[in-house]
Amino acid sequence: MASSSKPPPPLHSPPRIPSNLVGYDIPWVEKFRPTKVADVVGNTDAVSRLQIIARDGNMPNLILSGPPGTGKTTSILALAHQLLGANCKEAVLELNASDDRGIDVVRNKIKMFAQKKVTLPAGNHKIVILDEADSMTSGAQQALRRTMEIYSNTTRFALACNISSKIIEPIQSRCALVRFSRLSDQEILHRLMIVVDAEKVAYAPDGLEAIIFTADGDMRQALNNLQATHSGFHFVSQENVFKVCDQPHPLHVKTMVQNVLEGKFDDACSGLKQLYDLGYSPTDVITTLYRIIKNYSMEEYLKLEFLKEVGFAHMRICEGVGSLLQLSGLLAKLSLVRETAKAMM
């Protein structure tokens, strides 16, 4: 008996794109990445130094150091684009942490690029961008320092890293250091509003507040959280943001701190257990706790003591002791600090 189903399509036919993916946009992090140094958000001092380099055209070897998502890679790509223009494709070598960057790559790939002849306007240099340079092996960094010296007439190096002290000192002494810091809430909000207007995102003010809170000074994180919330719920509200980002809700943590201050230790512990049972990592819990205490309205002495105890607990958690017992011990310490402060008054 003949089957009523349709015959399968021929093997050579192109795959059909689902209608909901037609016109799919690239990630907003890439879509709204600045192409000029002047457009980079925040870190005014660092950006103004790079703007002077872009204007004068004389680029030194650079180390750009700072936390993730603060504009290091964006700045150096924008600088390379402004300096080299149309020659950017053939005169820039970019190696990321995902690439193999051992000693062989430095000896072969980077050295060959440095030796390559590229016709550039007078005063311009080829640029080698090494992203996440602090994850390069010590041997590769040792090999790199000699290459930087030999080919300094034709090639300049830009190293982006999170911690500049992980770059060996001989390389540090050959480079100008540009430090980036976390972005302020106002700077992140300003860029979020541009993206929200451009993409016609429906939002509530508390939703943008939640995105800024979860980003913690990281622009990349903020844009990714905004896009993820918009894609998942088509409305950016506080509740939706915390569902997508899956961080401990600040109000829950704030209630916990309030219970400690009011002497309700059992209530604070049960609130902590709820968070722990939901599967949040101790690092997430203690990071949110730190940020809540930092902005909480309490006496200065008490806040300082609370932050000190949170710092010690965070150190122990980073060393691997991330149990509920450790977090409950922290609440006990905070309660003890409160009782001591109360007795002194």
Structure tokens at 79: 């600088």
Q: Mean pLDDT for the chain?
A: 87
CA-nearest of 184, 167, 253 to 218 is 184
Q: Would the pLDDT of 88 be above 90?
A: no
Q: What's the average model confidence in pLDDT over 58-68?
A: 92
Mean pLDDT of the region 208-214 = 92
Residue 245 has pLDDT above 90, yes or no: no
What's the CATH number for 250-344?
1.20.272.10
pLDDT on residue 285: 92
pLDDT at position 96 is 83
Position 64 confidence tier, pLDDT thresholds 50, 70, 90: very high
How far apart are alpha carbons 163 and 176 in whole angstroms? 15
Q: Which of the pair, 345 or 149, is modelled with greater confidence?
A: 149
Q: Does the pLDDT value for residue 100 go beyond 80?
A: no
Domains 28-179 and 250-344 in one fold: no
- CATH code for the part of the protein at 28-179: 3.40.50.300
Report which secondary-structure segment, H or E, holds 178.
Answer: strand 176-179
Q: Judge whether residue 3 has pLDDT over 50.
A: no
Local structure of residue 165 (DSSP, 8 states): G
Q: Domain residues of the chain, as ranges?
A: 28-179, 185-245, 250-344
Q: Is the pLDDT of residue 12 over 50?
A: no
- Listing DSSP states for 184-198 in one string gives PHHHHHHHHHHHHHH
Three-class SS state of 9 = coil
C-alpha 140/C-alpha 106 separation (Å) is 6
**Residue 63 structure tokens:** 């180390």
Cα distances (angstroms) measured from residue 100 to each of 93, 165, 179, 338: 14, 21, 26, 52
**Mean pLDDT, residues 241-253:** 88
Among 233, 179, 184, smallest CA distance to 204 is for 233
For residue 1, pLDDT beyond 80: no
pLDDT digits (tens, 9 = 90+) for 256-293: 999 999 989 999 999 999 999 988 889 989 999 999 99
**pLDDT given at position 135:** 86
- pLDDT, one tens digit per residue, over 283-318 is 989 999 999 999 899 899 999 999 999 999 999 999
Buried b (16+ CB within 10 A) or exposed e, 214-236: bbbbbbbbbbbbbbbbbeebeeb
Are the CB atoms for 248 and 288 separated by under 8 Å? yes
Residue 24's pLDDT band, with cuts at 50, 70 and 90, is low
CA-CA-CA-CA torsion sign (50, 51, 54, 57): negative
Provide CB contacts within 8 A for 18, sequence distance 6+. Answer: none
CA neighbor of 155 nearest in space, from 190, 111, 195, 188: 111
Q: Tell the CATH topology of 185-245.
A: Helicase, Ruva Protein; domain 3 (1.10.8)
DSSP summary character for residue 99: S
Tell me the DSSP string of 196-223: HHHHT--B-HHHHHHHHHHHSS-HHHHH
Residue found under tokens 């090494």: 130
Residue 319 has pLDDT above 50, yes or no: yes
| Predicted TM-score (pTM) above 0.85 | no
Q: What is the structure's pLDDT at 74? A: 92
Spatial neighbors of 229 by CB under 8 A, at least 6 apart, are 207, 211, 236, 240, 241, 244
